[in-house]
Chain A
């Protein structure tokens, strides 16, 4: 086979150039550490890498969101704890007040202390977060939620609360509305209250009752009337509801609720079951203050007021505790999603590395192979190019 001189030289030169180009490419990979320089190197891998990077970035953002919210939730938990302490101090004072032998100045004393506790409660309810925004004002968080005029406290905030995204599929409430925490505290068992008729002559008492089937409950005031010691009827605003016989202790059930009467009722005794109203933590305290400041209040009325107040204070503490539990649950959710996020970021970063980074061992080996090939090409060209018949002819 015939070989042209020019062809041989051109081919050798081209081969050396292509080897040099390959060496340059390998060198670039080694010095940048990235094997995937352009999408053309591996389009599918490049698309995956950009998506993974976006997901990692989003995950970090969610962690940032979560930790910002976390510090606010910690402050809220502290505030709820403070409110609980304040309310419990007020409760102690209320128990103290339930003493017929107190002198007016002693009552005044208790009233003054209660006044201070009320102010403390308002101040706690108006606390702010790390950005200076109000914790309990809902979405209108630049507006102070609670304002006190005399002994009444009004809520000026919003009932809706904004959300924070802590993971790709979780948005949680950023706080709690002051209305839910301090204002609309449900009385009784949350659905209805029970009361002993004021004119009762028998010795029976009624418990707070429970809801057995919430969908059957019809909000209304029900009167349980004992026609004699063993028979009763239940009526509401629309007429008779049910009736039955009674032995002590006896459970009376109707419209999805049940309540237990214990003791011996007299004929004509009544017990009322009414929809639970709401009370505010502030009015609970201020009502007692008003009563204590009333010089004409009889001891029986004071006892009745204290009874109501204690019930409401317990309900308030229970409400604070519920809210606190939900705050705790949210803090846990943030911690959990933060841990998951860290783990998944690590996994995704690992994937990115495996897709785009250079395998140094393989690349270094490849470089020395290519260098060897270039060296061989150069040496062989140098020795072959010298050979020519002309140099042997004289």
Chain B
């Protein structure tokens, strides 16, 4: 029956409920992810009477939550991007910071070593200068090893973060699945479970920090969640589990794997499908900044060691013996895949400094044929040779030997310079071991009557057993000379190569009978020409096909890491601005405004009071009626 009392009571109840919605909003003003709720007032159906339709009051049909899927998606996207760049920038900045010392950095150390060689060249017999060379070398190697150690610990940090990110994602995924289940149960009733929806949205927002997220709403109210490049994470009430799996070549590096629910097989590697968020940033910074920096440091170390050691062998120490290697440097790292089924053993050595790059390579058995791929460009690299010990594969400055049998599908990671920096150290201990003098000296006999002059000898093969054997070049006429009985025609200035591992040249006009000698330079303790050869070698364009010098490579490593960090930082900054404005948009739609709630509270209070007054009026009318009947 449509009457004053029940209509008013319906109002009281409705406004009381509305006030409780308001108080809920006020209580949750600071709750993250809370969407402001609005009561939907619906008029009760009217009753038909003889004199017209009379309404029967009001009820709250639903409590609506202010929410926009579009705005939420925009916020999550920008959150993922920002998180991605920020994580990348933070880690890259650690590497950048490590390299960016202008006074004691790698460039300064390299120059210091070169300077110490110059000082020794001023007086090669001075022991103090020789000691200074060794200590400059120590300083250089310790600096490089220090970088390698720091990079290793930055990498370990990254692996740790990857592990904890994956754990977080799993926790969030399983929570989302649980909430999905709860929502599915309630959705059937037509009411919207606002707090559960808020909870689920908040979980997905948190997930977007770790990895980029896409969602798809299902008919039963559940939300399917996809991460990265479309990898399914949550389907209805079921969540997949991500795991960290050791990289097939390097067990200390983690890849991301997926264990499908219900299967018992090994996790599937989905690292390639992970993008966006902090997890994507960590994976990217590892392969784009940390590994290439270690490789470049290694390439520079190999350059220094090779140049100096070769020149040591081409010279003589103060005691007249050929020099021993001054530097040790780490070798080529070959790592078999953990998936290999064959029994092949692969080893590799560096053979050509100029052909080395800063890349890593994968050597794979492709149906019986070995193929080498550059991991950065994914290009196939042509190899010379057949892979045996006497005819190794040659490519990219290394030669590779394969022993044993591999099965098709077996693969090996070949890293020519990755471990070089960590193994960069000084081998010599005494200044007398520095080969300051040239190994071979040339001279003209004092009885010569012609005007021929002989140039200094250059060592072409320091390992030649007869390098220091004396040789005479005797001119039988102004146009012919003999070495060990073999006659040659004389061309002024032309190179004269010897089977003993040196070359020289003669210019001018020798006379018949003139003799020139080439022999050991032992005893010439004041000779510093080998030191200058070492200095010139260090300054030459020895890397990257003769285009880059050691200082050039150092400089470009620094600016490369700097540029990557700068780019990530500016991208992060831009995305942060986008994220701030997207978050603002979401908050402005879904956030609680206390002033608004205060106004609502006043509104509902007044309405409640008005309804109460109506009930009062109804009571008064009833009392009047009863009183009137009593007196009659």
With A54-B107, A139-B527 given, is the CB distance from A4 to B97 under 8 Å? no
Q: How far is the CA of A258 from the CA of B494 in the complex (A)?
A: 33
For residue A44, which residues in chain B have a CB less than 8 angstroms away from its CB? 559
Max chain B Cβ within 10 angstroms of own Cβ: one of A50, A57, A65: A50
Are A53 and B108 in contact, CB atoms less than 8 angstroms apart? yes
A123 close to B (CB within 8 Å): no
Q: List 26 A-B contacts (CB under 8 A).
A: A2-B588, A3-B587, A4-B36, A4-B593, A5-B29, A38-B562, A39-B566, A40-B565, A47-B562, A50-B108, A53-B102, A57-B108, A61-B114, A64-B118, A137-B526, A139-B526, A139-B527, A142-B125, A142-B525, A160-B441, A163-B528, A164-B122, A388-B595, A389-B599, A393-B601, A393-B602
Chain B contact residues: over half helix, strand or loop, or mixed? helix
Give the docked Cα–Cα distance between A219 and B508 (Å): 14
Which residues on A sit within 8 Å (CB–CB) of B437? 139
* Docked-complex contact A54 and B111, CB < 8 angstroms: yes
Tell me, in angstroms, the Cα distance from A219 to B451 when the chains sit together.
10
Where the two chains meet, the residues of B that have a C-beta atom closer than 8 Å to any C-beta of A are: 29-30, 32, 36, 92-93, 96-97, 99-100, 102-103, 105, 107-108, 110-112, 114-115, 118-119, 121-126, 437, 441, 443, 449-450, 511, 523-529, 532, 535, 551, 554-556, 558-563, 565-566, 569, 580, 583-584, 587-596, 598-599, 601-602
A188 to chain B, nearest CB (A): 15
Nearest-Cβ distance from residue B24 to partner chain A, whole angstroms: 15
Say yes or no for A131: interface residue by CB 8 A criterion: yes
User: Contact check: which of A7, A46, A62 meets B100 at CB < 8 Å?
Assistant: A46
**Nearest CB to that of B569 among chain A residues?**
A40
Instruction: Check if B592 sits within 8 Å of A4, measured CB to CB.
Output: yes
B107 near A50: Cβ-Cβ < 8 Å:
yes
B87 to chain A, nearest CB (A): 15
Residue among B36, B524, B562 making CB contact with A39, cutoff 8 Å? B562
**Interface residues in A82-141 (C-beta closer than 8 Å to B):** 131, 133, 137-141
Give the chain A neighbours of B107 by CB distance below 8 A.
Answer: 50-51, 53-54
Q: Is A389 a contact partner of B587 (Cβ separation < 8 A)?
A: no
Question: Contact at A6–B591, with CB atoms within 8 Å?
Answer: yes
Report B-chain residues with C-beta under 8 Å of the C-beta of A361. none
In the complex, A7→B592 CA distance in Å? 9
CA distance A119 to B46 in the complex (A): 142
Q: Say which residue of B103, B123, B449, B569 sits within 8 Å of A53 (CB atoms).
A: B103
Q: Report the bound CA distance from A254 to B217 in whole Å.
A: 111
| Interchain CA distance A58-B590 in the complex, whole Å | 65
**What is the bound-complex CA distance between A37 and B449, given in angstroms?**
67
- Of B525, B532, B555, the residue contacting A163 (CB under 8 A) is B532
- Do the beta carbons of A51 and B555 come within 8 Å of each other? yes
The answer on a CB contact under 8 Å between B593 and A68 is: no
CA distance A356 to B102 in the complex (A): 10
Interface residues of A (CB under 8 A from B): 1-7, 10-11, 14, 37-44, 46-47, 49-51, 53-54, 57-58, 61-62, 64-65, 68-69, 131, 133, 137-143, 158-160, 162-165, 171, 174, 219, 275, 356, 388-390, 393
* Contact partners of A11 in chain B: CB under 8 A: 580, 584
Q: Which of A3, A39, A131, A133 is close to B96, meaning CB atoms less than 8 Å apart? A: A39
Query: How distant is A283 from chain B, measured CB to nearest CB, in Å?
Result: 14
Judge whether B115 and A57 touch: CB under 8 Å: yes
Partner of A139, one of B97, B119, B524: B524
Q: Is the CB of A40 within 8 A of B108?
A: no
A371 to B554, CA, bound (A): 39
Return the contact of A57 from the options B111, B443, B594 (Cβ within 8 A). B111
Q: State how many angstroms separate the Cβ of A268 from the closest Cβ of chain B.
A: 30
A3-B593 in contact given A43-B559, A43-B562, A54-B110 (Cβ < 8 Å): yes
Cβ B594 vs Cβ A388 within 8 A: yes
The residue in chain A whose Cβ has the minimal distance to the Cβ of B446 is A184
The answer on a CB contact under 8 Å between A160 and B527 is yes
A4 in contact with B111 (CB, 8 Å): no
CA distance A29 to B593 in the complex (A): 41
B589 in contact with A2 (CB, 8 Å): yes
Report the bound CA distance from A47 to B524 in whole Å. 41
A207 nearest CB across to chain B (Å): 24
Contacts known (A4-B587, A388-B594); A58 close to B562, Cβ less than 8 A: no
Chain B residue at minimal CB-CB distance from A275: B449
